[in-house]
Amino acid sequence: MPQQVPRLAAVFALAVVALLVARRQLIPDTFGAVGHYRAAAVTAIAARPVKYAGYQACETCHDQLAAKRLSGNHRGVGCETCHGPAAAHIEDISVKPQVPSTREFCVTCHAYNPSRPTGFPQIDPAAHNYPQACKDCHDPHAPVPPVVPGQCSACHAQIWRQKAVSHHARLACTTCHEADQRHKSDPRSMRPTKPVAREFCGQCHAQGSQATKAIPQIDLASHGVPYLCWQCHYPHYPEAR
Amino acid sequence: MTEKGGSPVEQREPSGNDGPVDRRAFVQSLAAACASGLPLLFGVVRVPGLEAQGEGGGAERLYGMGVDVAKCIGCGRCVYACKTENDVPMGPGTFNTWIERYVIKTDGEVVVDSPEGGIAGFPPTTTESDMRRTFFVPKLCNHCENPPCVQVCPVGATFSTPDGVVLVDEDYCIGCRYCIQACPYGARWFHPEKHVAAKCTFCYHRITKGLQPACVEACPTGARIFGEVEGRATPLARFIRFNDLQVLKPHLNTKPKVYYANLDGEVR
């Protein structure tokens, strides 16, 4: 065997050993265990701390609020959407999550923006009862959309106040005016009725009617003919007599 | 790959020398040739994209996300939740997820903006007269099945997990920013303090514990649906079944696992 062959072999062997050592040193432990990456990185990333606990965790203690939330229009909104990350609160109850109570927070979602989907409840923050806090009227855990007025007074406040101090105070508006339910949602298309006939007022104010003696009564056949009642007596006024 | 590559060479040798070849001998020699090539392959050559793909397909789970564009109200709570959950710095251009507002004008011009990623919502646009359509689009890493970012990483610091999530190994990343250039969706960013590439992890630390990703947890309208892509009765499976789905930039063949419903054709 020529002299240079074992020498070369030795050099090659040394190179291979150096390569193996370098490889062991340079490649991290778990590299290639699963794929072309450090398998330990996956477990390290999976072990990062959780900050949003999830609404299920909130419900274990706040069960009444959770039930209320499910009953209302915020049923799809998670607790931490408004209250912020709450995992720290679950670990230590003295750490309080956020309680946003200002208008500025609610309008993050509910301010009018043309890019928002049609039908999503939106208001103009400058015009909608500024500067009251939203929660004064809307319960954030079960908010309700604006409802049509329950009473005539919501729109006809002036008449309602006059009537309240008149002799007709104890009569409901509907005693004399028939109002269809649709008048609330579409006032001009369904107008309430107004009594026009003398006989309508005569139900109480004619002699021989079944009303109490406290109510002034007249002879319908002779009193103020040929005028209608309201042409002389305005029924909402205190001085209606 | 090598098995296929080795076969024509092996086929030529016997036929050139000995004329008709015994089938058994041919198969044996072929197998031997393949076997001798395998250790070399495993020791030296690794193709990250291929491996990640193969593992993802055989995994027990394959995570994905559905985004219903018609439900997004652009409130930015997802952006806030993501930044909080993942300690994402507040600086500009550091977003795992962000919301874009598209305004398509009557003359066809498309205006896209995303002030601070939409973290504090969007100021209303003032002129509505020349507006044809407008909507919000939440964006995030698409966790592609063929991730270009993984292919270009020179050190193997970014990878697809067996359950289909593309992650970055912060301790191994050298901060060369190659992956940030490679991502066609602009979903990666450079961490200004750690000096490594960073991106959406689908909140891997949460989903492995059975929780929803922070953005999904925080979304008030249910515009984001997270779950397993295939084979199970999950909300995402239902979302995939009942919606006409689109993905972003399908022509790039990245095979994203973030599926959009009601997506406008102008969204890029």
A29-43, A76-90, A116-130, B26-40: the lowest-pLDDT one: B26-40
Q: Are residues B29 and B82 in the same domain?
A: no
- Is B133:B264 a contact under the CB 8 Å cutoff? yes
Q: Are residues B104 and B208 in the same domain?
A: yes
User: To the nearest whole percent, how much of chain B has pLDDT over 90?
Assistant: 67
pLDDT of residue A237: 80
A232 at the B interface (CB within 8 A)?
no
pLDDT of residue B230: 81
Helix H or strand E encompassing B39:
helix B23-44
| Residue A150 distance to chain B (closest CA, Å) | 30
pLDDT of residue B21: 64
**Complex-level ipTM:** 0.74
How far apart CA A227 and CA A240 sit, in angstroms, is 16
Residue A160, pLDDT > 60, answer yes
Q: Which of A85, A221, A203, A135 is nearest to B82 (CA)?
A: A85
Q: Are residues B22 and B132 in the same domain?
A: no
A147-156, A164-173, A175-184, B93-102: the lowest-pLDDT one: A147-156
Q: Are residues B166 and B264 in the same domain?
A: yes
pLDDT of residue B44: 44
Residue window 26-85, chain B: list those with CB within 8 Å of chain A. 46-48, 51-52, 55, 70-77, 81, 84-85
Partners of B201 on chain A (C-beta within 8 Å) are: 45
B192 at the A interface (CB within 8 A)?
no
User: To the nearest whole percent, how much of chain B has pLDDT over 70?
Assistant: 81
Residue in chain B closest to A86 (alpha carbons) equals B85
Domain ranges for chain A, please list them: 4-46, 55-136, 152-231
Mean pLDDT of chain B: 84
Q: Are residues B164 and B36 in the same domain?
A: no
Partners of B172 on chain A (C-beta within 8 Å) are: 28, 37-38, 41
Amino acid in position B219: C
Q: Residue B36's domain spans which residues?
A: 2-45
Residue B153, pLDDT > 70, answer yes
Query: Within 13 Å and on the Cβ side, how many CA atoms surround B55?
Result: 20
How far apart CA B188 and CA B94 sit, in angstroms, is 8
Q: Are residues B16 and B124 in the same domain?
A: no
Q: Average pLDDT of A207-216? A: 79
A59-73, A131-145, B88-102: the lowest-pLDDT one: A131-145
Q: How many domains would you assign to chain B?
A: 2
Q: Are residues B57 and B78 in the same domain?
A: yes
Q: Which of A52, A75, A77 to mutate to test the interface with B (most CBs of B within 10 A)?
A: A52
Q: Which of B167, B206, B178, B149 is nearest to A37 (CA)?
A: B167
Query: Within 13 Å and on the Cβ side, how many CA atoms surround A18?
Result: 6
Q: Are residues B85 and B186 in the same domain?
A: yes
Local confidence band at B51 (pLDDT 50, 70, 90 cut-offs): very low
Reported as a single tens digit per residue, the pLDDT across B155-213 is 999 999 999 999 999 999 999 999 999 999 999 999 999 999 999 999 999 999 999 99
Q: Are residues B68 and B196 in the same domain?
A: yes
B194 at the A interface (CB within 8 A)?
no
In sequence order, the 6+-apart residues with CB closer than 8 A to the CB of B246 are: B259, B260, B261, B263
Residue B54, pLDDT > 60, answer no
Partners of A112 on chain B (C-beta within 8 Å) are: 124
Residue in chain A closest to B220 (alpha carbons) equals A77
Of A38, A52, A115, which has the smallest distance from its Cβ to B81's Cβ?
A: A52
Query: Residue A114 and residue B217: Cβ atoms within 8 Å?
Result: no
- Is A236:A159 a contact under the CB 8 Å cutoff? yes
Q: Are residues B61 and B28 in the same domain?
A: no
